[in-house]
């Protein structure tokens, strides 16, 4: 039994580096196309289907089964596509402050209006680029200076498709248990939006008193939740 970790927008697999040592089972952190081990992919061409295919490829390459699939933030729209690709390999889904918009809508439509305008300004030629200053305000408010700097050093450009492509949530109709980790101090995916996601999914809910990047700011706390789910 293993954890498979899917990062959100603007990061790669290395955002899980602080968390993995605290997990009680094998963990595979996936790089979505355009960063890390898949940096050769042109971000401007990446689609949500490509993201799901990358997760499937990594799961099948290691022949992982009984997987606890963990999706953070924008991975909330990749996870259901993975569930449709390899449903027999997934035992439980954990969504960490995950974006789950209405089926057929766009992630961009679900972002807090003030944040939405900043995000729109950050999209050029199919690439989503976060400024260090903007990311610091939204992602690092519960971190000390050194931890924040380490987090911001890992920022990566991303595909605008994650934000602008209509989502397909059909995978969430599958009878696979799911847990939503509600981050009570999140300034990126704010309380109202997390509650919308929870209402759509009707998962078990666990609260953590952290900001958006819980895997970095409070890795032991998040690991404790994941280890409990894993059993």
Q: What are the tens digits of pLDDT across the range 6-46?
A: 999 999 999 999 999 999 999 999 999 999 999 999 998 99
Cβ neighbours of residue 175 under 8 Å, at least 6 residues apart? none
Instruction: Note the pLDDT tens digit of each residue in 190-220.
Output: 899 999 999 999 999 999 999 999 999 999 9
Please give the pLDDT value at position 67.
98
Q: What is the DSSP letter of 166?
A: P
Question: Are β-strands 67-72 and 2-6 bridged in parallel, bridged antiparallel, or unpaired?
Answer: parallel
| Cα distance between residue 89 and residue 72, in whole Å | 19
10 Å CB burial of residue 9 (0-12, 13-18, 19+) is buried
Confidence tier at 106 by pLDDT (50, 70, 90): confident
Residue 173: which region, alpha, beta or left (left: phi > 0; alpha: psi -120 to 50)?
Answer: alpha
Confidence tier at 132 by pLDDT (50, 70, 90): very high
Segment 84-113 mean pLDDT: 91
Please give the pLDDT value at position 113.
75
Give the percent of the chain with pLDDT over 90.
80
Q: What is the DSSP letter of 215?
A: H
| Cα distance between residue 120 and residue 122, in whole Å | 5
pTM (2 decimals)?
Answer: 0.94
With beta carbons less than 8 A apart as the criterion, state whether 200 and 207 touch: no
| Cα distance between residue 48 and residue 140, in whole Å | 26
Please give the pLDDT value at position 76.
96
Instruction: Note the pLDDT tens digit of each residue in 154-202.
Output: 999 998 888 889 999 999 999 999 999 999 999 989 899 999 999 999 9
Is the model's pLDDT at 145 over the cut of 90? yes
Q: Any idea which residue has 């759509």 for tokens?
A: 200
Supply φ then ψ for residue 95, to 5 degrees.
-115, 120
| Cα distance between residue 213 and residue 106, in whole Å | 22
């Amino acid at each position: 039994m293993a954890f498979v970790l899917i990062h959100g927008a603007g990061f790669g697999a290395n955002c899980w580096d602080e968390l993995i040592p605290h997990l009680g089972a094998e963990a595979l952190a996936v790089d979505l196309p355009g960063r890390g081990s898949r940096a050769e992919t042109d971000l401007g061409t990446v689609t949500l289907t490509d993201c799901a295919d990358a997760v499937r490829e990594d799961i099948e390459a290691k022949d992982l089964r009984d997987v606890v699939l963990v999706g953070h933030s924008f991975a909330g729209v990749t996870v259901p596509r993975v569930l449709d690709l390899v449903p027999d390999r997934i035992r439980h889904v954990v969504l960490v402050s995950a974006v789950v918009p209405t089926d057929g809508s766009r992630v961009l439509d679900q972002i807090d209006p003030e944040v939405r305008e900043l995000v729109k300004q950050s999209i050029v030629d199919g690439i989503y680029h976060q400024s260090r200053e903007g990311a610091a305000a939204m992602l690092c408010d519960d971190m000390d200076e050194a931890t924040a700097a380490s987090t911001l050093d890992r920022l990566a450009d991303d595909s605008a498709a994650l934000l602008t492509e209509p989502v397909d949530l059909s995978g969430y109709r599958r009878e696979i248990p799911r847990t939503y980790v509600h981050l009570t101090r999140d300034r990126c995916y704010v309380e109202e939006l997390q509650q919308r996601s929870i209402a759509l999914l009707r998962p078990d809910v666990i609260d953590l008193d952290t900001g958006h990047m819980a895997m970095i700011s409070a890795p032991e706390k998040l690991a404790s939740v994941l280890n409990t789910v894993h059993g």
